[in-house]
Structure 1
Amino acid sequence: MLVLEYKVKGKRQQYQAIDEAIKTTQFIRNKAIRYWMDAPIEVKVNQIALNNYSTALRKEFMFVEQLNSMACQSATERAWSAINRFYSNCKSQKSGKKGFPRFQKDCRSAEYKTSGWKLHPTKRRITFTDKKGIGELKLLGKWDLQTYNVKDIKRIRLIRRADGYYAQFCIGVDLKDIQPKTDAEIGLDVGIESFYSDSNGYHQPNPKFLRKAESKIKHSQRRIYKKVKGSSGRRKARKLYAKKHLKVSRQRIEHAKRVARCVVKSNDLVAYEDLRVSNMVKNHCLAKSISDASWYLFRQWIEYFAAKFDKLAVPVPPQYTSQKCSSCGVIVKKSLSTRSHICSCGCELHRDTNAAINILNLARAKSLGCGSAAPKAFQEAREGHSLSNANGLVTSTLLGESLVEQVTRLKLESPCL
């Protein structure tokens, strides 16, 4: 799956029509959630039932009828995605909150399938043919959409961001770029002091994008409350504040993408810790630094490029990787403030380098323990972990997931306008 993103240029009335389509999408999704909540126990509500409910909404509300019918189905698919995720978490007995579906208050996208739009022969303009009045929009971007067949375009999503409106084209093609083998293996230990430390002793500097931009972000946030509530000045201040957060988000993505691509391209096996970042950020002392380091984003990019380049990305348990001596295997207890590893066997290493070596050793032991089934085990590991992200060189959507399942991820880009 490939997603090409363009910035769209139009008139003010067209932007207002896009906003209206986004609001309608939010309305349909929330109504579908309410329909599922109010349904009797004996009535089974599935995706087909929600799609039929969208048809009933089109007959009841005129503004829903103005939206394309397949776009209405996409909105109910978003509701079913949340419901199905809740069912899956309950079935698997996930610890903590199960993610009960909630009503959406800040929708930022509307999604069209194979109808409701028409692409210009030059493929530099797109016209939306439903009754919302969006009309023809100009596509601004460097991606080569002309090389793909129009029939391969599965979905088109209109997105509102802090710096304008964007159109994403979901193209049903497979991405594969097999790289030559290097016979190199590496273990990675992510951290806060360094972005990552590898088993070769290299420490990648942590850019700390949020920390560097924090003073400007706080200044722009204070400007919001100096303006009169509901005034145009307050809206402009909020827009400026959102743009600064959006810039930090894009910096993180580009940095993680560049570093992960270099690591995976240079090594045939990349071992990393299988961290539960969602649990780690519950520590209020380290939450901001962990989020700024973007550990999970970096992992997603490693897994994506491993799948694209036909390399191996192996997650290993993180327990005792920092405490265990990489030379003799003795547990040497140390606090987080202790940055060096000194063992009685004579091994003296940086704490993170020692952890990276242990991570690589665990990945190697995993392959040796599997014996002749090692390639199959690695293939299963790759299919289970490495196919989670397809942001890629020209994309911004997770591999193996539809555009519907990416809606909630938009909240990571910038605060609400």
Structure 2
Amino acid sequence: MAVQAAAERGWLAISRFYENCKTNKTGKKSFPRFQKDNRSVEYKTSGWSLHKTKRRITITDKKGICELKLLGKWDIHTYPVKSIKRVRLVRRADGYYCQFAIDVECVDIQPPTGQEIGLDVGLESFYTDSNGHHEPSPKFLRKAESGIKHTQRRIYKKVKGSSGRRKARARYSRKHLRVSRQRTEHAKRLARHVCKSNDLIAYEDLKVGNLLKNHCLAKSIADASWYQFRQWIEYFAAKFGRLAVAVPPQYTSQECSQCKAMVKKSLSTRTHVCSCGLILQRDWNAAINILLKAKSTVGQTGSNANGDGSSTLLGANLVEQVLSVKLESPRMTAGECQPFFYLKR
């Protein structure tokens, strides 16, 4: 089954390439490439067995992995073994991890709050909502940049192919892994709070890939992780039974939220001043416009981030599953839970 899963990954890359060609996708078409350094292996319902205490896992494909000890959270014992549909062994910069893809209904309907919110993401603040709250931007990469550059320079002071160079590369990778995890936890925490506190969440339908073409702001935009924040909003909206609506971002900063007049302003102008007398911070005015657009389009267009099934359904190959499900998160979908465990022999 591990070989089948690897073949399905290849067919997924090929089908995605042809689909992009048929739809005339702009830019690169994601040409399939041979994956030389694979960092994960996936098993379906065979090729592994759990110990009765569920604290050890044995890989039974006779490839030398054998028995592994599971370190970390022990919530895997609350699920029956039959609900585990896939097991993935993933290599990260700080060790090996085991992911369990579990077929459970991940729904937690929350009582209505009667609140609505519009979110305008930015670089000065992580986001500004329609109530005037400015969430400070954490800038994880900027804060860790000096340490990352130092460890990167240490790599090239070691002899190529030596154990010292390998260790220096591992330290460099762990620095980036820490930044990646900080971004994920920050986006997850804020998205959960926003979705739990509001019945309607409106946000801009930004094409972050196009924004990254601006070489002056690309690093700051990537550090803000706007798309990851949107993914978690869609995931928690589906989980809590909320409505998440993506609206077009055009003219949200230029239009006056009170009189609807167009007030042209450059990116450096941070205050919205209109002839009607309205004076607001630029992002606050944009957040109000985003909420008003979402309320006018509810029931016509928008996104509620609901998938039509689990990504681990039996009887369907990986290509059909990925194409039929809208992935709200690279780690979890509405019907999938993945506990992580650190592995030790």
Give TM-score scaled by structure 1 length: 0.74
1:331 aligns with 2:262: yes
Give the Cα separation in 1 of the matches to 2:5 and 2:133.
Answer: 46
What is the deviation of 1:89? 1.4
1:397 paired residue among 318, 328, 332: 332
1:388 paired residue among 304, 327, 332: 327
- What amino acid is the match of 1:207? P
1:268 aligns with 2:199: yes
2:317 maps to what in 1? Answer: none
1:82 paired residue among 4, 7, 13: 13
1:296 aligns with 2:227: yes
1:412 maps to what in 2? Answer: none
Higher Rg: 1
Distance 1:270 1:142, change over 3 A: same
Distance 1:290 1:94, change over 3 A: same
What is the deviation of 1:382? 3.7
1:60 maps to what in 2? Answer: none
2:314 maps to what in 1? Answer: none
Give the Cα separation in 2 of the matches to 1:199 and 1:130.
Answer: 55
Give the Cα separation in 2 of the matches to 1:115 and 1:268.
Answer: 42
SS of 1:383's partner is coil
2:276 maps to what in 1? Answer: 345
What is the deviation of 1:207? 0.2
What is the deviation of 1:92? 2.1
Give the Cα separation in 1 of the matches to 2:12 and 2:52.
Answer: 35
Between Structure 1 and Structure 2, the one with more helix by share is 1
Give the Cα separation in 2 of the matches to 1:76 and 1:218.
Answer: 38
Q: Which moved more, 1:136-145 or 1:161-170?
A: 136-145
Q: Percent identity?
A: 70
1:167 maps to what in 2? Answer: 98
Give the Cα separation in 2 of the matches to 1:303 and 1:183.
Answer: 19
Structure 1 gap ranges (5+): 1-69, 368-373, 404-417
What is the deviation of 1:106? 2.8
Task: Assess if the C-alpha contact under 8 Å between 1:159 and 1:165 holds in 2.
Answer: yes
Task: Assess if the C-alpha contact under 8 Å between 1:224 and 1:238 holds in 2.
Answer: yes
- What amino acid is the match of 2:328? N
2:157 paired residue among 206, 215, 226: 226
Give the Cα separation in 2 of the matches to 1:318 and 1:306.
Answer: 20
SS of 2:42's partner is strand
1:279 aligns with 2:218: no
Distance 1:399 1:229, change over 3 A: farther
SS of 2:306's partner is helix
1:210 maps to what in 2? Answer: 141
SS of 2:96's partner is strand
- What amino acid is the match of 1:161? R
Give the Cα separation in 1 of the matches to 2:219 and 2:336.
Answer: 28
Task: Assess if the C-alpha contact under 8 Å between 1:188 and 1:273 holds in 2.
Answer: yes
Structure 2 gap ranges (5+): 309-324, 339-345
1:120 aligns with 2:51: yes
1:106 maps to what in 2? Answer: 37
1:313 maps to what in 2? Answer: 244
- What amino acid is the match of 1:397? M
1:129 maps to what in 2? Answer: 60
Q: What are the within-5 Å matches in structure 2 for residues 232-243 of structure 1?
A: 232-243=163-174
What is the deviation of 1:381? 4.1
SS of 2:109's partner is coil
Task: Assess if the C-alpha contact under 8 Å between 2:84 and 2:103 holds in 1.
Answer: yes
Give the Cα separation in 2 of the matches to 1:203 and 1:379.
Answer: 25
SS of 1:282's partner is coil
Count how many residue pairs are aligned between Structure 1 and Structure 2: 322
SS of 2:98's partner is strand
Distance 1:297 1:100, change over 3 A: same
Task: Assess if the C-alpha contact under 8 Å between 2:306 and 2:334 holds in 1.
Answer: no
1:63 maps to what in 2? Answer: none
- What amino acid is the match of 2:306? E
Task: Assess if the C-alpha contact under 8 Å between 2:245 and 2:302 holds in 1.
Answer: no
Q: What value does the CA root-mean-square deviation take over the aligned residues?
A: 1.9
Distance 1:210 1:165, change over 3 A: same
Distance 1:380 1:334, change over 3 A: closer
1:178 aligns with 2:101: no
